[in-house]
Amino acid sequence: MSDMRTFPEAASARPDAEAPAAPLSAGPRGRRTGAAPLSNDSRIAVDIRGLVERGEMDEARDRFGELVALHQRRASRIAYQYLRDAGEADEAVQDAFVKVFTHLTSYRETWPFEVWFTRILINGCLDRRKARTRRDRWFVPGEPSSADEARLAATDAAPDPERRLLARERRARLAAAVERLDGRQRAVFTLCHYGDCTPREVSAMTGLNESTVRVHLFRAARKLRGLLGGKP
Protein backbone atom coordinates (compact mmCIF):
# COMPACT_ATOMS: atom_id res chain seq x y z
CA MET A 1 0.00 0.00 0.00
CA SER A 2 1.60 3.18 -1.02
CA ASP A 3 0.61 6.17 1.01
CA MET A 4 2.83 8.48 -0.85
CA ARG A 5 1.60 7.83 -4.35
CA THR A 6 0.47 10.99 -5.95
CA PHE A 7 -1.77 11.28 -8.91
CA PRO A 8 -0.33 10.95 -12.40
CA GLU A 9 -1.00 14.59 -13.17
CA ALA A 10 -0.15 15.76 -9.70
CA ALA A 11 2.28 18.31 -11.04
CA SER A 12 -0.46 20.04 -12.95
CA ALA A 13 -2.40 20.47 -9.76
CA ARG A 14 0.01 23.12 -8.65
CA PRO A 15 -1.62 26.50 -8.33
CA ASP A 16 0.28 28.03 -11.17
CA ALA A 17 -0.62 25.22 -13.54
CA GLU A 18 -2.94 25.82 -16.42
CA ALA A 19 -6.53 24.73 -16.16
CA PRO A 20 -7.57 21.70 -18.20
CA ALA A 21 -8.36 22.46 -21.79
CA ALA A 22 -11.82 20.97 -21.79
CA PRO A 23 -14.29 22.73 -19.54
CA LEU A 24 -16.09 20.60 -17.04
CA SER A 25 -19.61 19.82 -17.93
CA ALA A 26 -22.56 20.38 -15.71
CA GLY A 27 -22.81 18.91 -12.30
CA PRO A 28 -26.16 18.34 -10.75
CA ARG A 29 -25.54 20.93 -8.06
CA GLY A 30 -25.30 23.93 -10.36
CA ARG A 31 -21.92 23.03 -11.81
CA ARG A 32 -21.38 24.68 -15.07
CA THR A 33 -21.75 23.21 -18.52
CA GLY A 34 -19.95 24.84 -21.44
CA ALA A 35 -21.79 28.18 -21.48
CA ALA A 36 -23.65 27.85 -18.20
CA PRO A 37 -23.21 30.67 -15.69
CA LEU A 38 -20.38 30.47 -13.22
CA SER A 39 -21.00 29.05 -9.83
CA ASN A 40 -21.04 31.52 -6.97
CA ASP A 41 -17.53 30.73 -5.72
CA SER A 42 -16.07 30.80 -9.23
CA ARG A 43 -17.67 34.18 -9.84
CA ILE A 44 -16.18 35.55 -6.64
CA ALA A 45 -12.80 34.13 -7.60
CA VAL A 46 -12.96 35.84 -10.99
CA ASP A 47 -13.88 39.13 -9.31
CA ILE A 48 -10.98 38.84 -6.91
CA ARG A 49 -8.65 38.02 -9.75
CA GLY A 50 -9.74 41.26 -11.44
CA LEU A 51 -9.10 43.21 -8.27
CA VAL A 52 -5.66 41.69 -7.87
CA GLU A 53 -4.80 42.46 -11.47
CA ARG A 54 -5.85 46.07 -10.96
CA GLY A 55 -3.75 46.22 -7.81
CA GLU A 56 -6.69 46.75 -5.47
CA MET A 57 -5.28 44.38 -2.90
CA ASP A 58 -7.23 45.51 0.14
CA GLU A 59 -10.52 45.04 -1.65
CA ALA A 60 -9.30 41.68 -2.98
CA ARG A 61 -8.41 40.54 0.51
CA ASP A 62 -11.85 41.51 1.80
CA ARG A 63 -13.61 39.62 -0.96
CA PHE A 64 -11.37 36.62 -0.43
CA GLY A 65 -12.85 36.28 3.04
CA GLU A 66 -16.10 35.24 1.36
CA LEU A 67 -14.36 32.42 -0.46
CA VAL A 68 -12.72 31.30 2.75
CA ALA A 69 -16.07 31.23 4.53
CA LEU A 70 -17.60 29.22 1.69
CA HIS A 71 -14.98 26.49 1.52
CA GLN A 72 -13.39 26.47 4.92
CA ARG A 73 -15.49 23.80 6.58
CA ARG A 74 -15.37 21.37 3.71
CA ALA A 75 -11.65 21.96 3.28
CA SER A 76 -11.03 21.30 6.96
CA ARG A 77 -13.01 18.07 6.74
CA ILE A 78 -11.02 16.85 3.74
CA ALA A 79 -7.68 17.86 5.23
CA TYR A 80 -8.50 16.19 8.53
CA GLN A 81 -9.45 12.96 6.80
CA TYR A 82 -6.11 13.04 5.00
CA LEU A 83 -3.94 13.99 7.92
CA ARG A 84 -5.86 12.78 11.00
CA ASP A 85 -4.48 15.66 13.02
CA ALA A 86 -6.60 18.74 13.56
CA GLY A 87 -3.66 21.11 14.01
CA GLU A 88 -1.94 19.94 10.87
CA ALA A 89 -5.21 19.99 8.95
CA ASP A 90 -5.73 23.55 10.11
CA GLU A 91 -2.32 24.54 8.79
CA ALA A 92 -2.89 22.72 5.51
CA VAL A 93 -6.15 24.59 4.97
CA GLN A 94 -4.50 27.92 5.75
CA ASP A 95 -1.63 27.16 3.40
CA ALA A 96 -4.04 26.20 0.64
CA PHE A 97 -5.99 29.45 0.97
CA VAL A 98 -2.85 31.56 1.05
CA LYS A 99 -1.50 29.74 -1.99
CA VAL A 100 -4.77 30.23 -3.81
CA PHE A 101 -4.74 33.95 -3.12
CA THR A 102 -1.15 34.42 -4.20
CA HIS A 103 -1.73 32.50 -7.44
CA LEU A 104 -5.21 33.73 -8.15
CA THR A 105 -4.14 35.47 -11.34
CA SER A 106 -3.47 32.03 -12.86
CA TYR A 107 -7.01 30.86 -12.16
CA ARG A 108 -9.13 30.28 -15.26
CA GLU A 109 -12.89 30.20 -15.04
CA THR A 110 -13.04 27.21 -17.35
CA TRP A 111 -12.36 25.31 -14.19
CA PRO A 112 -14.73 25.52 -11.20
CA PHE A 113 -13.02 27.21 -8.33
CA GLU A 114 -13.90 24.36 -5.99
CA VAL A 115 -12.00 21.88 -8.14
CA TRP A 116 -8.98 24.15 -8.46
CA PHE A 117 -8.89 24.85 -4.77
CA THR A 118 -9.35 21.22 -3.78
CA ARG A 119 -6.49 20.16 -5.99
CA ILE A 120 -4.24 22.63 -4.26
CA LEU A 121 -5.45 21.46 -0.88
CA ILE A 122 -4.97 17.75 -1.49
CA ASN A 123 -1.51 18.30 -2.95
CA GLY A 124 -0.60 20.20 0.20
CA CYS A 125 -1.98 17.37 2.31
CA LEU A 126 -0.01 14.79 0.33
CA ASP A 127 3.16 16.84 0.80
CA ARG A 128 2.50 16.95 4.51
CA ARG A 129 1.96 13.21 4.67
CA LYS A 130 5.26 12.69 2.87
CA ALA A 131 7.02 15.02 5.25
CA ARG A 132 5.48 13.21 8.21
CA THR A 133 6.64 9.84 6.92
CA ARG A 134 10.15 11.21 6.53
CA ARG A 135 9.99 12.63 10.05
CA ASP A 136 8.70 9.38 11.50
CA ARG A 137 11.61 7.52 9.92
CA TRP A 138 14.05 9.45 12.09
CA PHE A 139 12.02 10.40 15.12
CA VAL A 140 9.52 8.65 17.34
CA PRO A 141 6.12 9.05 15.69
CA GLY A 142 3.97 11.56 17.48
CA GLU A 143 0.84 10.61 19.33
CA PRO A 144 -2.43 12.17 18.23
CA SER A 145 -2.82 15.59 19.74
CA SER A 146 -4.16 15.43 23.25
CA ALA A 147 -5.96 18.72 22.61
CA ASP A 148 -7.91 17.00 19.85
CA GLU A 149 -8.79 14.17 22.18
CA ALA A 150 -9.93 16.62 24.82
CA ARG A 151 -12.00 18.56 22.32
CA LEU A 152 -13.61 15.39 21.04
CA ALA A 153 -14.38 14.27 24.57
CA ALA A 154 -15.78 17.67 25.51
CA THR A 155 -18.07 17.97 22.53
CA ASP A 156 -19.17 14.37 22.46
CA ALA A 157 -22.93 14.29 22.62
CA ALA A 158 -23.05 11.02 24.52
CA PRO A 159 -23.32 11.72 28.25
CA ASP A 160 -22.50 8.17 29.17
CA PRO A 161 -18.73 7.57 29.52
CA GLU A 162 -19.14 4.04 28.19
CA ARG A 163 -20.82 5.34 25.06
CA ARG A 164 -18.14 7.97 24.65
CA LEU A 165 -15.48 5.32 24.89
CA LEU A 166 -17.28 3.15 22.36
CA ALA A 167 -17.62 6.10 19.98
CA ARG A 168 -13.92 6.83 20.31
CA GLU A 169 -13.04 3.22 19.60
CA ARG A 170 -15.37 3.20 16.61
CA ARG A 171 -13.70 6.31 15.21
CA ALA A 172 -10.26 4.85 15.74
CA ARG A 173 -11.31 1.64 13.99
CA LEU A 174 -12.79 3.59 11.11
CA ALA A 175 -9.70 5.77 10.77
CA ALA A 176 -7.46 2.70 10.81
CA ALA A 177 -9.58 1.07 8.11
CA VAL A 178 -9.44 4.16 5.88
CA GLU A 179 -5.71 4.34 6.50
CA ARG A 180 -5.36 0.81 5.17
CA LEU A 181 -6.80 1.78 1.81
CA ASP A 182 -4.52 2.14 -1.14
CA GLY A 183 -3.35 5.76 -1.67
CA ARG A 184 -5.60 6.43 -4.65
CA GLN A 185 -8.54 4.61 -3.18
CA ARG A 186 -8.22 6.68 -0.04
CA ALA A 187 -7.99 9.90 -2.00
CA VAL A 188 -10.99 9.09 -4.15
CA PHE A 189 -13.02 7.88 -1.19
CA THR A 190 -12.15 10.96 0.86
CA LEU A 191 -13.03 13.38 -1.91
CA CYS A 192 -16.23 11.64 -2.92
CA HIS A 193 -17.51 10.71 0.45
CA TYR A 194 -16.21 13.39 2.78
CA GLY A 195 -15.62 16.16 0.26
CA ASP A 196 -19.01 15.89 -1.44
CA CYS A 197 -17.41 15.67 -4.85
CA THR A 198 -18.90 13.86 -7.79
CA PRO A 199 -16.76 11.30 -9.63
CA ARG A 200 -16.45 13.80 -12.45
CA GLU A 201 -15.05 16.43 -10.13
CA VAL A 202 -12.72 13.93 -8.52
CA SER A 203 -11.58 13.00 -11.99
CA ALA A 204 -10.75 16.65 -12.68
CA MET A 205 -8.98 17.03 -9.34
CA THR A 206 -6.91 13.91 -9.53
CA GLY A 207 -6.38 13.58 -13.24
CA LEU A 208 -7.78 10.07 -13.15
CA ASN A 209 -10.30 8.86 -15.66
CA GLU A 210 -13.86 9.14 -14.39
CA SER A 211 -14.49 5.42 -14.76
CA THR A 212 -11.25 4.78 -12.87
CA VAL A 213 -12.53 7.02 -10.10
CA ARG A 214 -15.70 4.94 -9.91
CA VAL A 215 -13.70 1.72 -9.79
CA HIS A 216 -11.48 3.09 -7.00
CA LEU A 217 -14.50 4.20 -5.08
CA PHE A 218 -16.20 0.85 -5.43
CA ARG A 219 -13.06 -0.98 -4.33
CA ALA A 220 -12.61 1.36 -1.41
CA ALA A 221 -16.18 0.78 -0.27
CA ARG A 222 -15.81 -2.97 -0.64
CA LYS A 223 -12.55 -3.03 1.26
CA LEU A 224 -13.93 -0.87 4.04
CA ARG A 225 -16.96 -3.10 4.41
CA GLY A 226 -14.65 -6.08 4.61
CA LEU A 227 -12.39 -4.43 7.18
CA LEU A 228 -15.22 -3.10 9.29
CA GLY A 229 -17.41 -6.17 9.03
CA GLY A 230 -20.23 -4.45 7.22
CA LYS A 231 -20.80 -1.78 9.81
CA PRO A 232 -18.66 1.15 10.91
Question: Rule CB under 8 A: which residues touch another protein?
Answer: 27-29, 52, 55, 57, 60-61, 64-65, 68-69, 72-73, 76-77, 80-81, 86, 90, 93-94, 97-98, 101-102, 148, 151-152, 155-157, 170-171, 174, 192-194, 198-199, 214-215, 217-218, 221-222, 224-225, 228, 230-232
- Distance CA(35)–CA(126), nearest Å, equals 34
Task: Name the residue nearer to another protein (CB basis): 140 or 143.
Answer: 143
Other CB atoms within a 10 A radius of the CB of residue 149 amount to: 13
Are 15 and 103 in contact by the 8 Å Cβ rule? The answer is: yes
Task: Name the residue nearer to another protein (CB basis): 141 or 230.
Answer: 230
Other CB atoms within a 10 A radius of the CB of residue 104 amount to: 22
CB of residue 22 to another protein, shortest distance in Å? 21
- Distance CA(198)–CA(189), nearest Å, equals 11
Task: Name the residue nearer to another protein (CB basis): 119 or 216.
Answer: 216
Helix axes 199-206, 210-228, angle to 10 degrees: 110
CB of residue 125 to another protein, shortest distance in Å? 14
CB of residue 162 to another protein, shortest distance in Å? 17
CB of residue 138 to another protein, shortest distance in Å? 28
Are 133 and 4 in contact by the 8 Å Cβ rule? The answer is: yes
